[in-house]
Chain A
Amino acid sequence: MSATEPQAAPATDAPIRTDMVIVGAGPTGLFAVFEAGLLGLRCHLVDNLDKPGGQCIELYPDKPIYDIPAIPRCTGEELTNNLLEQARPFHPEFHLGQQAESLTRLEDGHWRLVTSAGTVLEAPVIVIAAGAGSFVPRRLPLPGAAPFEGRSLHYAVRKMEHFRGKRLLVAGGGDSALDWLLSLQPIAASTALVHRRDEFRAAPDSVEKMRALVAEGATTLHFGQIAELHGTDGQLEGVTLKQTSGGEERIACDTVLAFFGLKMELGPLASWGLNLERNLITVDTEAFETSQQGIFAIGDIATYPGKLKLILSGFHEAALMCQKAHKYCRPDQKLVFRYTTSSSELHKRLGVAD
Chain B
Amino acid sequence: MAEIFVIDRDGVEHSVTATDGWSVMEIVREADLPIEAACGGCCACATCHVYVAADWLPKLPEMSRDESNMLDEAFQVQDNSRLSCQIPFKPELDGLTVTLAPEF
Contacts and interface: CB of A to CB of B under 8 A. Distances in A.
Genuine A/B complex: yes
B21 interface: no
B68 interface: yes
Interface string A193-225: 001110101000000000000000000000001
B77 A260 contact: no
Interface residues of A, number: 23
A138 interface: yes
Interface string B61-104: 00000001100111111000000000000000000000000111
B25 to A, nearest CB: 15
Given A59-B39, A132-B38, A141-B102, A225 B72 contact: no
A140 B72 CA distance: 13
A174 interface: yes
B42 A196 contact: no
A154 interface: no
B45 interface: yes
A238 interface: no
A338 interface: no
Contacts of A60: 39, 42, 44
A173 interface: yes
B46 interface: yes
A27 to B, nearest CB: 14
Interface-centre pick from B39, B47, B73 (highest chain A CB count, 10 A): B73
B75 A225 contact: yes
A309 B29 CA distance: 15
Contacts of B68: 197, 199
* A interface SS class: loop
A138 B47 CA distance: 11
B99 to A, nearest CB: 16
A173 B46 CA distance: 14
A261 interface: yes
A141 B72 contact: no
Contacts of B44: 59-60, 63
A196 B77 contact: yes
Nearest to A132: B38
Contacts of A141: 75-76, 102-104
B59 to A, nearest CB: 23
A55 B39 contact: yes
Contacts of A195: 72
A256 B47 CA distance: 23
Nearest to A65: B42
Interface in A123-176: 132, 138-141, 172-174
A215 B92 CA distance: 47
A264 interface: yes
Contacts of B40: 309
Interface in A59-111: 59-60, 63
A309 B38 CA distance: 12
B42 A261 contact: no
B77 A261 contact: no
A342 B16 CA distance: 56
A263 interface: yes
B30 to A, nearest CB: 15
Contact of A260 (B38, B73, B102, B103): B73
A63 B41 CA distance: 12
Contacts of B74: 260
A92 to B, nearest CB: 26
A138 B104 contact: yes
Contacts of B102: 141
B72 A201 contact: yes
Interface of A: 55, 59-60, 63, 132, 138-141, 172-174, 195-197, 199, 201, 225, 260-261, 263-264, 309
Shortest beta-carbon contacts, A-B, top 7: A141-B104, A261-B73, A59-B44, A201-B69, A60-B44, A173-B72, A59-B39
15 contacts: A59-B38, A59-B44, A132-B38, A138-B73, A141-B102, A141-B103, A174-B73, A195-B72, A199-B68, A225-B75, A225-B76, A260-B74, A260-B104, A263-B45, A263-B104
